[in-house]
Amino acid sequence: MSAGTEKIAVTVTDVVAVNDLVKRFRFVRSDGGPLPTFSGGAHTVIEMKDGDVTRLNPYSLMSDPRDQNAYTISVRRDDQGRGGSLFMHRNVKPGDQMVLSYPVNLFSLDLRAKKHLMLAGGIGITPFLAQIKQLSAMNGRFELHYSVRTKALGSYVDELTGKHPEHVHIYYDDQKQAIDLEHLLDGQPLGTHVYVCGPKGMINWVLDTAKRLGWPDEAVHSEEFLAPQSGKPFEVYLAQSKRL
Amino acid sequence: MSKFTFPESIKSRPVYGTLEPRPGKAHLMIADAEGADALMDVAKADPGVMAKAHVIYIPKGTGTKYSDDLAALKPAILHVSPSYGASVPRLRRILSDAHMGLQIYLAGTEGLMGQAMQEAVSAGIPHSAIQTEHRGSVARRMQCVHCKGITEDVMTDPFVCSHCGLNLFVRDHYSRRLAAFQGVCIDAEDPGEVPEPVELYK
């Protein structure tokens, strides 16, 4: 993930409830300096001091990658999760001091693409928010297909459809709307790259369909927003300093 | 001798594989001379592919033997072109109309595969997603690093640049952008001291 990257001390400036499940957090550097720029799709790892436990959760940065004043993230509350999102929802308030890692990008745009086709499911929208800001600034060609459960839970739907009415398509699960994936992938011009971020089932659906339709692996990108299962704890012996 | 195994070389030198049918609704096949044999192998492995295939074939002095064989495979479209250069407008048109999922198969000489790959890459297909298979002549497309002129079908090392006349040493250093190997003056220090030309890979 992001082990070993440098850390940044930040202050929480805003906590906004986007809807029943999602809250948005805005961070500025505690020392007042500029934050590093990043590239769309990057995430930061947030350190949460939850009593005796330190939780490390990665969240995609959704702010403009060129904006060095602040980082924003959106956190979906997961009542069955390991507890990081609940901590963010319940405990984090404006004025809190927190520690973030430097941005790390494992889901970057391939800028050689002639067109970027983005498929988002639920909170998987967050990396695309930054990527769309990045592409808009450089006149990049993109098309977003965003699947949400209901109108009320569609985070940032209005913002996206308002700013990019020609390039954003929304699908509401409760209205039985679904991405017509086969047709969508089939009609893409040469040089299109597809990006998918969402639940595992959606990612596998896109990867499998793209493969069957003959898309090269190099043009298919994905990021799952669930944290991987943590491994078993182990001890490390440092050979030079002879310490455990 | 239609299949030749190139000895291992520097990283810059292209490595060719063996064509295999891949899933896709459209297939673009480009071959010259003995490269037709590689396309026939693809058709043999999956006869269904040819009905969706657009084939551009450049006989390069092999007469009508291969083009007749290819026609017998009943590809969706077979275009026999007198030269690669003459087929470029067609190739560009195919690529500009194509959708993602198009499979590209290149077979034959290095010069043909390199140039067709350059067109496909500039149309947006990752170079590593393009299949290639070398067949036939080991002649190379060379760029003179001094005058930048391209000499096609170079069979000997050293050779004389067809543009500026310098004696050029044939390097394995390859440019995907130019679809050519690098030729460097061999007698710059001692003009006239040119080794006897040797046929490539003899």
From the CA of A192, how many Å to the nearest CA of chain B? 7
Chain A hits for B129, CB-CB cut-off 8 Å, are 216-219
Give the angle A141-A112-B105 at the CA atoms, nearest 5°: 110
**Strand, coil or helix: what is A121?**
strand
Contact criterion met (CB < 8 Å) for B123 and A211: no
Taking the Cβ of residue A183 and every Cβ of chain B, the question of whether any pair is shorter than 8 Å is answered with no
Chain B hits for A113, CB-CB cut-off 8 Å, are 124
- At B70, the pLDDT band (50, 70, 90 cuts) reads very high
**B112, pLDDT greater than 90:** yes
Closest CA to B134 of B42, B12, B53, B14: B14
Q: Mean pLDDT throughout B40-60? A: 97
Distances (CA, A) of A176 to A120, A173, A179, A197, A233: 16, 5, 10, 20, 44
From the CA of B113, how many Å to the nearest CA of chain A? 19
Q: Which of B22, B101, B128 sits opposite A218 (nearest CB)?
A: B128
Contact criterion met (CB < 8 Å) for A190 and B23: no
State residue B1's pLDDT score.
46
Axis crossing angle, helix B84-97 with helix B110-122, rounded to the nearest 10:
30
Taking the Cβ of residue A215 and every Cβ of chain B, the question of whether any pair is shorter than 8 Å is answered with yes
Q: Mean pLDDT throughout B73-77? A: 97
State residue A230's pLDDT score.
57
Residue B81 is encoded by which pair of tokens? 């072109």
Contact criterion met (CB < 8 Å) for B99 and A219: no
Q: Which residue of chain B is at minimal alpha-carbon distance from A185?
A: B100
**B21, pLDDT greater than 60:** yes
How many pairs of residues across A and B have Cβ atoms under 8 Å apart?
60
Residue B82 is encoded by which pair of tokens? 């007198």
State residue A2's pLDDT score.
46
Distances (CA, A) of A187 to A117, A208, A215, B117: 11, 17, 12, 22
Average pLDDT for chain B: 96
Query: Can you tell me the distance from the alpha carbon of B146 to that of B165, in angstroms, rounded to the nearest whole number?
Result: 10
From the CA of B129, how many Å to the nearest CA of chain A? 6
Question: Which residues, including other chains, have CB under 8 Å from residue B189's CB and lie 6 or more apart?
Answer: none
ipTM confidence:
0.86
pLDDT per 10-residue tile (average), chain A, 244 residues: 74 96 97 96 94 92 97 95 92 96 95 96 97 96 97 96 96 96 96 96 97 96 72 78 78
Q: Mean pLDDT throughout B32-57? A: 97
